[in-house]
Each structure stands twice: as structure tokens, then as C-alpha cells.
Structure 1
Amino acid sequence: MQHPANGQPPQYPTSLGTSDADTITLLGHDLAGELIGRTGFGELALWLVTQRRPEPGEVRVFEAVLVALADHGFTPTALATRLTYLSAPDSVQGALAAGLLGGGSRFLGVTEDCGAFLHEALTAHEGRLPGDTDDAGWDRLALETVRAARAERRLVPGLGHPVHKIRDPRTPVLLAIAEENGHKGPHLRLFEAVGRVHPQVLGRALPLNGAGVCGAALADLGLPIGLLRGFALLARTAGLLGHLAEEQRAPLGMDVYLSVDRNARYVAPPGD
């Protein structure tokens, strides 16, 4: 906030949007005359965060990530939305919020956790990173990174999936799209290498999950690491809207509730 000395009202500078009686300005452009019908939503979301108009390859990778994260079936986030809608059908916003609030370390939050994990490792080796085609160099860095995480008893985010035990079908597609559009950067290269070397440390092979590769891809687009979960939530909002629409057409929230409630049984607390 700026406080003018001439007695005028304080100023609140923003590089996003402003409006007056006749116009709406967004990102320095006339919303009605220059953006509506000419700018896609994915492009606009990137632009709002980065404060620069993204090029087409960036938009393609970004929108591929949004599609990959939009829905994954009857996840806890979807069930939270459906059951909240069952309880409060007059509050669509509450149902959406309930699902979004469930985006944490086990579901959706992996996107940010993986991006942050990779970014930390890359920052620690800044100026000493392998070349794009030096797979052996990336493998060495990945092995060092996984070993350090194991020594610190930290999980390696982005490994494993509760459903896709062998391969997450999203992962190779997202990697290919990033490569095709010139945005397969150090985060994705390190993540790929983690996938190749982690069995040497962990003693078992786990798939690189889609949420993790999404985090790596978003980080390679230069997006703020602390906002990566926000992009996952942006994507999942579309999926939750789909669940709400289906709940209106063919409700199953009551069935889920009754299935649990009617099959609950009392057990005495431990020690009784």
C-alpha cells in the first residue's frame, strides 16, 4: 500500500486486474476486447501466476498436467465432495471446498512435495548439473539424492501409487509431451533418474506416479514451488464439479453413507 502525501486515498498497486464503470483490465489488457474468446483458460492461469504471456509449448505442458490431475475416480477428495453435497445440497461451494480441503500429503499434495524434493536436490548442486543427454550423470545425482533421503528417513515423493502398482499410465505420456515441447528440464530429468536408480537403495521397484511427474513438469515451467499444490487443486476442481454433476444426475452419496452406517459394529476399546 502506498500512502500519498497529498491527502489522496491510499494506493493499492496490482499487476493483475482492475475495473471501473466501463472497463475491466486484466494483466494490462482489456478483458472484453482483447482476452475473452482469444485466450484459453490454461494460458490465462499461467499468465496470471508468471506475469508473462506463456508460449504455446508451455501451455500444452501445463494443460496436460491439468488433465492428468483432474480426476482419479472415487478418491477421498471426490467422496468428501459427494458426501458434503448429500448433507448440504444447498451448498455447492461447501461441497467443492470439502473436496479441495482433502488435497494433502497423500492425495494431490504429492505434486508439490515432489517438485519441492527435486528442486531442493537441484539447488544443492546448482552449477554442477549433468547435461540434458548425460543419463549416467543424472543417475549418479539421483542415487545420491535417494540415499540422502533414506539416511534422513524421508520418503521420496512421487514413488508408488495405491492403484497403479507397476506403471502409472500418465507418466510416460506427460514425459513425452514435455520432451516434444522443449520443456523436459532438470526436474523431470532427475525424476526419471530417480525412477531408474531407486531400487538400488530401497530394495524394490516402485512406479513414478502421475502426481509426482506433474510436480516435476510444473517446476520445469518455472512455476513457484510453493504454489504447485494450488495447480493440482485447480485441476481437481474440474473433476469435483464432474462428481457433483453426476451426484445430481445419479446420486450415490446416500448409498455410501448407509453402507458404512448400517455395517458399523461396536468394539470395546483396547484394555476393556
Structure 2
Amino acid sequence: MSDERSYPTGIGTSTTDRIQLLGLDLADEVLGKVSFGELAYWLATKRRPTPGQLRVFEAALVSLADHGYTPTAIAARMTYYSAPESIQGAIASGLLGGGSRFLGVTEDTGQFLAASIAALGDTSGYSEDDWDAVARDVLEKAKSEGRKVPGLGHPVHKQGDPRTPVMFQIAREAEVFGPHLSLFEAIGRVHPEVLGRTLPLNGAGVAGASLADAGLPLGLLRGFALLARTAGLIGHLAEEQQHPVGPAIYAEVDRNATYVPPAP
């Protein structure tokens, strides 16, 4: 047995005087030449994005960066109030809340759409009517199984998420409007007749469809949502440092807590 140990990576490495990243010299070939969005895409896929893919990718990140006082933002602010010496802890606490109700919908939608189109074969010639038929089948199956369709509905934007039509437009302009977005758009058109009520296509869902059509790995879609939300959490913490609300949130809950003794 050989005593040599090897831990391969195609990401990066460094020596005393050089840093290599994705096969390039970081200082000479990457710094000032590659944007952060392009680098994030490149790191995840090991290939450089096309201009259209990069535009859709960065638009999706921007769309997911912040949505106000969500549980993730509140968690980050409260952790900062409790441990102001730990910025990393405050950011981490916000990211840990990215799940099935917030942020995780991005990946759930991408995975749902991908599974739905996996058996369709070549869809390049599909018309709007074809996609509507697929959407009806998908929705009827989900309804019969008692499953929710990820990407449908929003707790605030009940009449329509303002991000959704813009993301559709950007993807079309960038020529990155593929089967995931086509099916998601069709779900938006036909779901009222199948489900008996009208729900908006939410921004997290359209981000998932957009990222999938832009060629990002399905298993990393939640990671991109977290990458985007990190920027939003940094913004919340910057604001918390200047105009803290954490003490008021803590006092509001603590002073209005109702103690209910456990039943005997």
C-alpha cells in the first residue's frame, strides 16, 4: 500500500507566492477581470457562464437578497443583540432558517420542475398549449397525492409577486428561457382550473426555475438562495448596528409572555 496521500481539488490551491483558482492565477488573471457573480457560477459548475446565463443568475441572486423582516432577518438581528461580538454567528443564525417556508422554496421548485420534465424528452418544439397540458397533468397528480406545488402562493404578495414577471422577461431577453421556466409559467396559467383557486407564482419559485434553466446544479439551488440572503443579512446587521430593533423585539416578547403552568 502506498504511503502517498492525495486530496484532489479543481477549485484552488496556493504556494508561497501564488494562488491558483479554477486553473487561473488569481492575482494576474482573475482579480479585476471576473465579477463575483461570474466567479460564483464558475465555482459551482466548473465552467464560465454565457452572458445570458450570468444575467439570469445575478438577477435571481438580487431577487432573493432580502424580503424585509422575515424570520431569517429577525434571527440574525436577535443573535447579534445577544452576541454582538459574533457577526459570523448572527449571519449563520439567519442562514440556518433557510428551509421549506423561506429560501428553500427556490430549490424545492427547481427540483419539482426538473422531476416533472425528466420524462418528456426533447421539449424544444413545445408550444404554449403543450406546456399547459403538461402543467395540468403535473397539478392533477400533485392534487391527487395531497402535495403542495412549490413556488405557488405567497404570504404577502397574494395578488402577484412583483419579481415574477420581471424574472420571466429577463430570462427571455437573455435567451435562457428553457423548460423549467416554461413549465412554471404554464402552472401559473392553468392552476386555477385544477386547484379551484388562484395563487401567485412566487419569487423564490421563479428564481429556482431560472437558476435551473441557467444551468446551475439542482442540488445547489438552496445554496445560491443562501448566498443571496447573506447579502441581505449583512444589510440587516449593518442597520442593527446603527438603529437596533433587537432590544425592542426582545422586550416586546418577554414583557408580554404569558406563563401557563404545565398540566398535572
Task: Report 1:102-181 matches (<5 A).
Answer: 102-127=97-122, 129=123, 131-132=125-126, 134-181=127-174
The structural deviation recorded for 1:130 is 6.3
Matched, 1:90 2:90: no
Distance 1:181 1:216 in 2: 14
Distance 1:82 1:108 in 2: 18
Determine if contact 2:53/2:215 at 8 Å carries over to the other structure.
Answer: no
Matched residue, 2:32: 37
Secondary structure of 1:14's partner? coil
- CA-atom RMSD, angstroms? 1.4
Matched, 1:209 2:202: yes
Per-residue CA shift, 1:185-226, capped at 9, x if unaligned? 000000000000111111100000000000000111121111
Distance 1:231 1:198 in 2: 27
The structural deviation recorded for 1:175 is 0.6
Per-residue CA shift, 1:211-244, capped at 9, x if unaligned? 0000000111121111100000000000000001
Distance 1:130 1:64 in 2: 24
Give the letter aligned to residue 217 of structure 1.
S
Determine if contact 1:130/1:137 at 8 Å carries over to the other structure.
Answer: no
2:182 maps to which of 180, 183, 189: 189
Determine if contact 2:132/2:189 at 8 Å carries over to the other structure.
Answer: yes
The structural deviation recorded for 1:267 is 3.8
The structural deviation recorded for 1:78 is 0.1
CA gap 1:88/1:138 in 2 versus in 1, 3 angstroms: same
Distance 2:78 2:247 in 1: 8
Determine if contact 1:108/1:232 at 8 Å carries over to the other structure.
Answer: yes
TM-score for the superposition, normalised by structure 1: 0.94
State the aligned residue count: 264
Structure 1: runs of 5+ lacking an equivalent: none
Distance 2:52 2:186 in 1: 23
Determine if contact 2:12/2:19 at 8 Å carries over to the other structure.
Answer: yes
Determine if contact 2:107/2:208 at 8 Å carries over to the other structure.
Answer: yes
Deviates more, 1:48-57 or 1:208-217: 48-57
Per-residue CA shift, 1:133-178, capped at 9, x if unaligned? x100000000000000111111000001000001100000001000
Matched, 1:46 2:51: no
Distance 1:123 1:264 in 2: 50
Matched, 1:68 2:58: no
Distance 1:36 1:223 in 2: 23
Give the letter aligned to residue 72 of structure 1.
H
Secondary structure of 1:25's partner? strand
Give the letter aligned to residue 76 of structure 2.
T
Aligned identity (percent) is: 64
Distance 1:94 1:156 in 2: 33
Give the letter aligned to residue 147 of structure 1.
E
TM-score for the superposition, normalised by structure 2: 0.97
Determine if contact 1:42/1:63 at 8 Å carries over to the other structure.
Answer: yes
Structure 2: runs of 5+ lacking an equivalent: none
